[in-house]
Structure 1
Amino acid sequence: MPLKRDGASLRVLTVNIHKGYSFFNRRFVLHELREAVRAVKSDLVFLQEVRGGGDPDERHPGVSQYEFLADTIWRDHAYGRNAVAPRDSYGNAVLSHFPIVKSHNHRLSHPRIQPQRGVLHCVVNHGALPALHLMCVHLGLLEGDREHQIAALHEIIGSEVPADAPLIVAGDFNDWRQRVDGRLAQIGLSEVFRQSHGRHARSFPAAWPLLRLDRIYVRNVETVQPLPMPRHPWSRLSDHAPLAAEVRLKEAA
């Protein structure tokens, strides 16, 4: 049964944009990606592998990818730099229709581990409803690194997010062995697709998804509903397929 979209209902999208390139870096697809993201009509967009510097696109010199994607559609955005390259950086970003009143990028990796991984924590002012906490995540490829990063994420949520506050944690968890849920359940987080369908969504590789790497976790919300996403055009816009959901927040007491 579809959720009724009103002031308490939000549409959430998460996607690893692969620095604006298609699978195997065959094409630069940022313009097509912007149209696809707009078509979902999301209130909140969680992005991973976002370039923080200007793109190799002469039509938009000096404009970061998250600014280009936000354009005039999402009034607020935040960026968390994790990896640094010559004249460029990469990280996570959040686009929001609502004011982002606070943002901070927390390091999840040990300083000696490269590339660095982080979680971008944003607090959104959603009118009369309680402040909404958002965390955009991209975990490492190695299981040992992910265990350290999940422990760090567990601690950050415990110290930065009030126990009764609504919270959405979304992104690329690289959790191909599906071990993250147990750790996050300890602090009250449940995954939208597993809660509704009994299993995580397949998201990698985008053209023929086999692995269940991307997630949307929630805490202290009223209801959630996963949204189906079309295979095209997404299968040719990144190496990861997007995930989307409707999240209904609890009304203030």
Structure 2
Amino acid sequence: MKIRVATYNIHKGVSSLRSTPRVVALKNAIKEFCADIVFLQEVQGRHDIKAARYGDPSRAHRHWPEVAQHEFFADDSHHCAYGLNAQYDHGHHGNALLSRFEIDRSHNQDVSDHAYEQRGILHCELMTEIGRIHCYVVHLGLFEAGRVRQTSSLIEAVNKSAGDGEPVIIAGDFNDWRNTLSDRLRKELGVREVFDELNAKPRLGFLVRTLGGRPAPVGPVPARTFPSALPVFQLDRIYVRGFKVESAQVLHGPMWAKLSDHSPIVANLELAP
């Protein structure tokens, strides 16, 4: 069974520079993924101010949907689930999952490390023709100590809900720009990141340690996804267990740079026998 997945931090549906609504363009872009499962972060479940300003039906083109963003993106082609993380007077936002497969159940776990940065892990169980797949939509915090604690919560959640070896996909914005969390996730969950084989590099320069004249290997390097106009930082990831990774790519270019401050990742997977 082959599955195409994508992960994308959509920056609440507005451009990163002028906060111009991009929701309609994002819907069209997400369709271009041709993905069976889409992991979304910073999804606006409600925003009364922007809805009042940009959702006026008297305008020639409505720029803000009447429904929640995840429902707007899902349309009739996907099922959807939403995990509210941050709530404020005029609305709320969080993580979301779009799936061509039936979402049997979903649960959002609050993993906020402090009051000023609300984070969550959205766990969805998908029913496919060959069995259950566990999906976890992740958006970790900006501070390293908090990310370490949130990673512990993620590992505990996966082991508790999918501990019997069922297929797992964990994707989202990890904010792990120094790549300090991947080894722990590989060791404790048996996952691998979709770019593990593609981006493995040897150590260079003064970091080289030789054994028989060969440079000692360094761990795989995730793809660069931020900022989307000129990606430098490795923030977004897709980790899998029980799947063979056929291909993975970051979508670059002027169109993607206008839509969000993050670039999306798309990967083709095949369920391992």
Q: Scaled by the length of structure 2, what TM-score is found?
A: 0.84
Report the secondary structure of 2:158's partner residue.
helix
**CA offsets, 1:197-237, max 9 Å, x none?**
22211000000000000000001113442135242311110
User: What residue in structure 1 maps to residue 154 of structure 2?
Assistant: 153
User: What residue in structure 1 maps to residue 82 of structure 2?
Assistant: 79
Q: Tell me the CA shift for residue 163 of structure 1.
A: 3.0
Counterpart of 1:42 (choices 9, 14, 35) is 35
Aligned mates of 1:231, 1:137 — CA distance in 2: 25
User: What residue in structure 2 maps to residue 195 of structure 1?
Assistant: 197
User: What residue in structure 1 maps to residue 175 of structure 2?
Assistant: 174
Please state if 1:13 is matched with 2:6.
yes
Aligned mates of 1:113, 1:179 — CA distance in 2: 24
Q: Tell me the CA shift for residue 144 of structure 1.
A: 1.0
User: What residue in structure 2 maps to residue 64 of structure 1?
Assistant: 68
**CA offsets, 1:112-158, max 9 Å, x none?**
4322111100010111x120000000000011111110111111111
- Calculate percent identity across the aligned residue pairs: 40
Please state if 1:209 is matched with 2:231.
yes
Deviates more, 1:20-29 or 1:223-232: 223-232
Q: 1:213 to 1:190 in 2, by over 3 A?
A: same
Is the Cα contact below 8 Å between 1:109 and 1:148 reproduced in 2?
no
Aligned mates of 1:108, 1:27 — CA distance in 2: 30
Is the Cα contact below 8 Å between 2:245 and 2:267 reproduced in 1?
no
Report the secondary structure of 1:102's partner residue.
strand
Is the Cα contact below 8 Å between 1:77 and 1:94 reproduced in 2?
yes
Counterpart of 1:242 (choices 251, 264, 269) is 264
User: What residue in structure 1 maps to residue 103 of structure 2?
Assistant: 100
Aligned mates of 2:152, 2:107 — CA distance in 1: 18
Aligned mates of 1:241, 1:168 — CA distance in 2: 19
Report the secondary structure of 2:83's partner residue.
strand
Counterpart of 1:32 (choices 6, 22, 25) is 25
User: What residue in structure 2 maps to residue 4 of structure 1?
Assistant: none
Structure 2 runs not aligned, ≥5 long = 56-61, 201-220
Aligned mates of 2:163, 2:131 — CA distance in 1: 11
User: What residue in structure 2 maps to residue 218 of structure 1?
Assistant: 240
Q: Tell me the CA shift for residue 70 of structure 1.
A: 1.1
Count of residue pairs the alignment pairs up: 241
Aligned mates of 1:117, 1:226 — CA distance in 2: 26
Please state if 1:88 is matched with 2:81.
no
Moved over 6 A (4+): none
Structure 1 runs not aligned, ≥5 long = 1-7
Aligned mates of 2:29, 2:263 — CA distance in 1: 12
Deviates more, 1:132-141 or 1:188-197: 188-197
Q: 1:176 to 1:230 in 2, by over 3 A?
A: closer
Aligned mates of 1:239, 1:47 — CA distance in 2: 13
Aligned mates of 2:173, 2:35 — CA distance in 1: 18
Aligned mates of 2:143, 2:69 — CA distance in 1: 27
Q: Tell me the CA shift for residue 10 of structure 1.
A: 0.8
Q: Tell me the CA shift for residue 250 of structure 1.
A: 2.7
For 1:123, the aligned partner's letter is E
For 1:63, the aligned partner's letter is V
Please state if 1:119 is matched with 2:108.
no
Aligned mates of 1:137, 1:94 — CA distance in 2: 11
Aligned mates of 1:90, 1:152 — CA distance in 2: 21
Is the Cα contact below 8 Å between 1:53 and 1:62 reproduced in 2?
no
Superposition CA RMSD, Å: 1.5
Aligned mates of 1:86, 1:183 — CA distance in 2: 38
Report the secondary structure of 2:87's partner residue.
strand
**CA offsets, 1:57-111, max 9 Å, x none?**
314564101111111221x10000111111311100000011000100011224x
Structure number, greater radius of gyration: 2
